[in-house]
Structure formats: C-alpha cells, structure tokens
Chains A and B, each alone.
Chain A
C-alpha cells in the first residue's frame, strides 16, 4: 500500500534545540516537498527536491535544513534559528515531469516549542 509516512506525529521541543522530522515515501516519486501550515494561513513551501542529492529553497526556508540522500527519504531539520517553529508540517511527493502537478501528502507532524 503506497504512501507517505511522516514521523513523529507529535513532537515537543525546548527552545534552542534542533529537531528532525522524518518523511519516507514508497510511491517511487522523484520529487519531494516540505510545507508548513499555520492557523488561518495556507500551506507554505519550505524546501523541495526534484532529484536525489539536490534540493531547492522554497518561500520560507530560513531556519530549516533538508537532505536528500535517498529517493525515498526527505528529512527536515528545524533548527534553533527558526524563530517561530510551532506549526503543522506536511511532507509531500510527486512524479517529476511536466503536467505532474498533483502532490500526495503525508499525515503531517505537529511541532510545539515549549
């Protein structure tokens, strides 16, 4: 059963700590994305990767880092430099070709900074 697995579902962090959110997909999709959702706002793109070992900044990349060492995996690290990290984080993937605009999303990870 193909899909995207995000973990953990809930995460609490003290100020000043880095945390890493996991995202794994078994859809054989080339491209992967990280979005952030805040109350009353749409999803905003943090980082995306269209191919292994390559990734691009999205609209709100400051304070975040990613890696893409394997096609199936795209972990997101929320660093202490992110000023307001409390949010709902969504990972997504898609086939990377013209016309393939539909993203498949994971169930999300809720990060709360204490």
Chain B
C-alpha cells in the first residue's frame, strides 16, 4: 500500500526554466510534508517542508504547494540549475507520537540540462 506516490520517475528541464515535481498521498492523517534531495551514493538532504495548516511555503528558489482536498503537493524550482540534478523524494509524517516517522515516495530523478 503506497501511501505516498511520485508518479513521474523522471523529469528533464532546461537550465533557467521551472521544474515542477509532484507528489500524491492517500493517508488523511498526514499533517506534515517534506522534500528531500539525494545524490547517488549519498544520504538525502532536507530541502523544504510544509505543515498541513499552510498551502504554500517558499525558501529561495524552492516553493512547495499543498492542496489538502486533492491530497497533492508539488515542489517548484525556479530557476532550475544544473546542480539541481538529483533524485527528489517527497515524504509525509502523521504527527502525534510518530512525528519522526516519515513515509517516502519512490522519488523523481530531475535532470537539468545546461
């Protein structure tokens, strides 16, 4: 039962354009969402997060949007840079005493071409 899904295995964009990575979830108990970036043979690094009480959170070039009714979130990267090329995972937490337990999506490989 995949509770967090990233339906696009890969995404290719041109440098300077917008990258949009999508994530869907099924568990209505999820109340906190995160995006992680991962390079090969390295651990994921935290990128940006959003609480379910918000619908948007920005940090520099990165913006996360949350649509609770659709159980959908997206990560926008503007402008995209070649160094952004990596695997992006979305993750969700159900709060309560399980706030540290994250459920991850399958990941989307982003390639930004110069």
- A contacts, CB < 8 Å to B: 4, 6, 31, 33, 35, 40-45, 48, 50, 58, 88, 90, 92, 94, 96-108, 110
A58→B95 CA distance, assembly (Å): 16
B43 (CB) vs chain A CBs: closest residue: A105
Q: Which of B41, B101, B105 contacts A42 (CB 8 A)?
A: B105
A4→B4 CA distance, assembly (Å): 26
Q: What are 24 A-B residue pairs whose CB atoms fall within 8 Å in the complex?
A: A4-B43, A6-B43, A35-B104, A40-B9, A40-B106, A41-B106, A42-B103, A43-B104, A45-B102, A88-B41, A90-B44, A92-B43, A99-B99, A100-B99, A101-B32, A101-B99, A102-B34, A103-B100, A104-B46, A105-B36, A105-B43, A105-B44, A107-B41, A110-B41
Let me know if B107 and A42 touch, CB within 8 A: yes
- B contacts, CB < 8 Å to A: 4, 6, 9, 32, 34, 36, 41-46, 49, 89, 91, 93, 95, 97, 99-107
Residues in A whose Cβ lies below 8 Å from that of B106: 40-42
Taking A42-B4, A42-B106 as contacts, is the C-beta distance between A100 and B100 under 8 angstroms?
yes
Given contacts A42-B4, A102-B34, A107-B43, 12 further A-B contacts (CB under 8 A): A4-B43, A6-B43, A40-B106, A43-B44, A44-B104, A101-B93, A101-B99, A104-B46, A105-B36, A105-B44, A106-B43, A108-B42
Residues in B whose Cβ lies below 8 Å from that of A50: 97, 100
Let me know if A42 and B99 touch, CB within 8 A: no
Let me know if A96 and B100 touch, CB within 8 A: yes
